[in-house]
Amino acid sequence: MKTKVGEDVLFKNCLAIGCLSVIGCIGAFAQDCSGKSTEVSVLVQKIRTGDPGEILRAAAIGGNAIAPTLRAQAREGRPAGTSEAAAQIALAKLGDEGALQQLARELNQNKRNLEAIKKLGKVANAQAVVVLMEYLVNNRFNENRILNYGDSNEDPLYDVVSVLTRVLPSPPVLKPSVAQSDLNLWIEWWKKNKKIPQIKPISPEVSDAYLKCLVREVEWGSRTRFSLSQQRAGRQ
C-alpha cells in the first residue's frame, strides 16, 4: 500500500537529487513500478527482446532480482549501443563488481577505449567515477594514449574528463579540458575526495519496493512522461 507518508518521502528524496524541476522525473510509465509489470518473468522477457532501452528500463525496475538474466546477456568489449553492452551497463549500475571490472579492463587495457568511456558515462555511479579518475591519474602524462587517424587524432582523456564534468555534482573544472593546468586541478581534487563517494544514490535507502523502483528510475534517467510533482499532486 502506497501511503501519503511514503509519497512525501519520495518527494523529498527526489528533491534532494534535484529532479523536480525537470519534466519527466518519474520513469517511462509510473505503472511499470507496480502490478504485473514488476514480475521477474515479465522483466526477463523485456531483456530478451535485445532492445538496449528496454534492458536498462527493466533493470531499473527489477534491480538485482534480474541480475542473473543480465549476466547471461552481457558481453565484455561490446559497443555501447548493443544489447550486450546495455546488460553490462545495467549490472554496473547495480554495483556488480564483475561488470565494473570488465569496464575497467576495457578502459585500461585497450588503446581504442572510447566505447568503454561511453559505457562508463552511462553507468554514472560512484564506482564509475573511481575507474575514470584512476585512468586520468595514470595517463595524464601518457602521450601514447592519443589515437592517431592520420589526418586527425582523438584523445580518450578528453572523453574521460567530459564524462566526469557531466556526471559529477561539483566537478573541480567546469569545462572539459586536457590542459595540464586543468588536469592538475583534477588530481588535487581527487587527492582530497577519493575516499568520499562522489555520487550517492537514494534508492538503496528506500525500503518500500514501489518507491525504490520509482526513485531508481529517476536516478537511471529513464524516459518519462510526468514530473514527480505532477504525479504526487495527482495521487493526493
What are 55-64's pLDDT values in tens digits? 999 999 999 9
pLDDT of residue 206: 86
pLDDT of residue 29: 37
Percent of the chain with pLDDT over 90: 62
The mean pLDDT of 106-131, rounded to a whole number, is: 96
The Cα-based distances of 160 to 82, 119, 231 in angstroms read 21, 11, 36
The Cα-based distances of 159 to 98, 119, 132, 156, 169 in angstroms read 23, 11, 10, 5, 18
Confidence of residue 50 (pLDDT cuts 50, 70, 90): very high
pLDDT of residue 222: 62
The Cα–Cα gap between 197 and 127 comes to 8
Q: What cell does 64 get?
A: 538485482
The β-bridge partners of 153 are 148
Name which of 102, 189, 93 is nearest 137 in CA terms: 189
Write out the H or E segment, with its range, that includes residue 188.
helix 180-193
pLDDT of residue 14: 53
The Cα–Cα gap between 142 and 38 comes to 47
| CB-CB contact of 118 with 106 (8 Å) | no
pLDDT of 31 > 70? The answer is no
- What single-letter DSSP state applies at residue 155? -
DSSP 3-state of 139:
helix
Query: Which residue would you say has higher pLDDT here, 67 or 229?
Result: 67
The mean pLDDT of 192-200, rounded to a whole number, is: 90
Confidence of residue 114 (pLDDT cuts 50, 70, 90): very high
The mean pLDDT of 120-132, rounded to a whole number, is: 97
pLDDT of residue 28: 38
pLDDT of residue 27: 36
Backbone angles phi, psi at 148, to 5 degrees: -105, 120
The Cα-based distances of 117 to 2, 153, 209 in angstroms read 39, 17, 32
pLDDT of residue 45: 94
Name which of 90, 79, 76 is nearest 44 in CA terms: 90
pLDDT of 20 > 90? The answer is no
- What single-letter DSSP state applies at residue 64? G
pLDDT of residue 207: 85
